[in-house]
Chains A and B, each alone.
Chain A
Amino acid sequence: MSVSDRRVREVFIELSDTLVDEFDIIEFLERLAERCSELLGVSACGILLADHHGVLNLVAASTEGARLVELVQLQNLEGPCLEVFSTGRPVQRADLRAAGTPWPRFTQAALATGFLSVQAVPMRLRDSVLGAVNLFGEDVGPLDDETITLAQALADAATIGIVHQRALAHHEIVTEQLQTALNSRILIEQAKGFLSHSLGRSVDESFAIMRSYARSNNRRLTDVATDIVEGRITLTA
């Protein structure tokens, strides 16, 4: 493993802290994506959730490159997360340059972005799969078992984040929570576009500005996004 157990413990404590006060699902998932990259020794991470149509949607990505590759995966309906979502089992491809890829368009996009290996683990809740966590490496090679186990634990943490504070007894409540997470993501995208126009910056720079504003003012990211879109606050670059 590439990081100390101490750091792993710190991250789980950090994640459980976010679950308690002023919880914001998108901030939680964005942070989780960043921590996944760090703890698992991979270059980037993307988190995808299924909606009520059974279609996967991107809810968080640790880098712009990962975001673009995820979108290629979703638009072409091929890639490791779609496979994980349908089988419920982890998928690993240690060298994307190897012949016989099951996902040619995904692989092409990943290689073009500089990723050489990919893993995906399911986000499971009992017998259903809610989504998948996608890990991208700039190096060739499989992740060891211990790292895969940690990846699954982080994916489970993401699941808990989504269904948190609710009785897990009812599936309809899970649907409701998923809906909230997906809708929050859309709100963030609207605010990114809005800020991008008003600040004359790229959407990614706008997102960074919005996040740092939320953090320094100790506010929930989705609340800040709402205020931006409703014209109640004006951020400066």
Chain B
Amino acid sequence: MVHAVTACAEVLSAMGTSFAMTRNGGPLEPLLASSPGAAELDELQFTVGEGPSVDAIANGAPVLEADLAAPGAGRRWPAFSSAGSERGTHGAFAFPVGVGAAKVGVLTIYRQQAGLLEPDQVRDGLIFADAVLVLALDERHGMNADLDEVIEAAFTARRAEVHQAAGWVAAQHGIHVTDALARLRAHAYTSGLPLHQVAADVMAGRLRLEFDRDNPSPTGTFDPKDEGPRDANMEQEDE
């Protein structure tokens, strides 16, 4: 994943790029950055609790700020914008990493120069965010997709049945939709079936994913904050 974040910085001629994680849309935690400057700005946003990345995750939409020194940015993020521009960073562009309610974090691009990204660069940012999503989901289950697979996954990620199946599995097992999506992907990966086929099988009742051998029928209690450690003893039977 660090390669994707570094490549993103290079492609978008940025001072630095960072990826901060959220657990199911909760507070962001800086995870990795392509440069110390980007890491510092990420830390700063999460310390003061404001900034483009914070807004991007809250709104579920990209936040594109051409100049942190401009009055608009000053009004929106009084503490962060002045700190950012004092450090010589002007452009800040935050792309949510996630699909629907499955939010894993935010990819932020910091640039020294002021000015908006070109349309092609916005597209590149979105594509990197898609790639980081796939990498972040798969990392939970120790999968290391190669670049072709990441690109393929990013293209097919929007198929409706995949997301219906993620919602279905989330309700069935009382887990968050992020984890349901990661587990669908893990099943597809280990079984060698295309993701949409796994999704169709789940929705048709032909496939029931079992996640926890110690507790094969998880109870219906639903607390998104409560799960996660279960990832560690992820099912093996798919192999």
Interface residues of A (CB under 8 A from B): 51-53, 55, 57-58, 71, 170-173, 175-176, 179-180, 182-198, 203, 225-226, 229-231
Task: List, sorted by A's number, 29 A–B pairs whose CB atoms are closer than 8 Å.
Answer: A52-B122, A52-B127, A53-B127, A55-B158, A172-B117, A172-B122, A175-B122, A180-B60, A183-B61, A183-B96, A187-B101, A188-B100, A190-B163, A190-B164, A190-B166, A191-B101, A191-B167, A193-B167, A193-B171, A193-B203, A194-B167, A194-B171, A196-B164, A203-B203, A225-B101, A230-B24, A230-B25, A230-B224, A231-B223
- B14 on interface, CB distance cutoff 8 Å: no
In addition to A176-B62, A231-B222, 4 A-B residue pairs with Cβ atoms within 8 Å of each other are A71-B160, A186-B163, A194-B168, A230-B24
**Cα-based distance from A209 to B122 in the complex (angstroms):** 37
Q: Given the complex, which residues of B lie within 8 Å of A191, measured CB to CB?
A: 101, 167
A152 → B minimal CB distance (Å): 25
Count how many pairs of residues, one from A and one from B, have CB atoms less than 8 Å apart in the complex: 114
- B170 on interface, CB distance cutoff 8 Å: yes
Contact status B155-A55, CB under 8 Å: yes
Contact status A197-B168, CB under 8 Å: yes
- B1 on interface, CB distance cutoff 8 Å: no
Which residue of A55, A183, A189 is within 8 Å of B160 (Cβ)?
Answer: A189
One digit per residue, 1 when the CB lies within 8 angstroms of any chain A CB and 0 when it does not, for chain B 151-166 equals 0001100101001111
One digit per residue, 1 when the CB lies within 8 angstroms of any chain A CB and 0 when it does not, for chain B 168-189 equals 1111100001000000000000
**Cα-based distance from A8 to B171 in the complex (angstroms):** 42
Given A58-B160, A193-B203, does the pair A53, B167 have CB atoms closer than 8 Å? Answer: no
Given A191-B167, A193-B167, does the pair A179, B62 have CB atoms closer than 8 Å? Answer: yes
Total interface residues on B, CB under 8 Å, equals 38
Contact status B177-A190, CB under 8 Å: yes
**Cα-based distance from A176 to B123 in the complex (angstroms):** 10
A178 → B minimal CB distance (Å): 10
A105 → B minimal CB distance (Å): 17
Q: Given the complex, which residues of A lie within 8 Å of B126, measured CB to CB?
A: 52, 175, 179
Contact status A57-B127, CB under 8 Å: no
Contact status A175-B123, CB under 8 Å: yes
A104 → B minimal CB distance (Å): 22
Interface residues of B (CB under 8 A from A): 24-25, 60-62, 64, 96, 99-102, 116-119, 122-123, 126-127, 154-155, 158, 160, 163-172, 177, 203, 222-224
Given A53-B127, A193-B203, A230-B224, does the pair A198, B101 have CB atoms closer than 8 Å? Answer: no
**Cα-based distance from A53 to B127 in the complex (angstroms):** 7
Main secondary structure of the interface of A (DSSP, over half): helix
- Report the nearest A residue to B60, measured CB to CB: A183
- Report the nearest B residue to A74, measured CB to CB: B159
Q: Given the complex, which residues of A lie within 8 Å of B24, measured CB to CB?
A: 230
- Report the nearest A residue to B155, measured CB to CB: A53
Which residue of A71, A183, A198 is within 8 Å of B100 (Cβ)?
Answer: A183
Given A176-B64, A179-B61, A186-B100, does the pair A193, B166 have CB atoms closer than 8 Å? Answer: yes
Which residue of B122, B164, B203 is within 8 Å of A176 (Cβ)?
Answer: B122
Q: Given the complex, which residues of B lie within 8 Å of A171, measured CB to CB?
A: 119, 122
Contact status B155-A190, CB under 8 Å: no
Which residue of A176, A185, A187, A193 is within 8 Å of B168 (Cβ)?
Answer: A193
**Cα-based distance from A231 to B167 in the complex (angstroms):** 11
Contact status B127-A193, CB under 8 Å: no
Contact status A190-B167, CB under 8 Å: yes
- Report the nearest A residue to B158, measured CB to CB: A57
Which residue of B101, B116, B127, B224 is within 8 Å of A190 (Cβ)?
Answer: B101
Q: Given the complex, which residues of A lie within 8 Å of B170, measured CB to CB?
A: 190, 193-194, 229
Q: Given the complex, which residues of A lie within 8 Å of B166, measured CB to CB?
A: 190, 193
A41 → B minimal CB distance (Å): 28
Contact status B164-A189, CB under 8 Å: yes
Given A175-B126, A197-B168, does the pair A190, B102 have CB atoms closer than 8 Å? Answer: yes
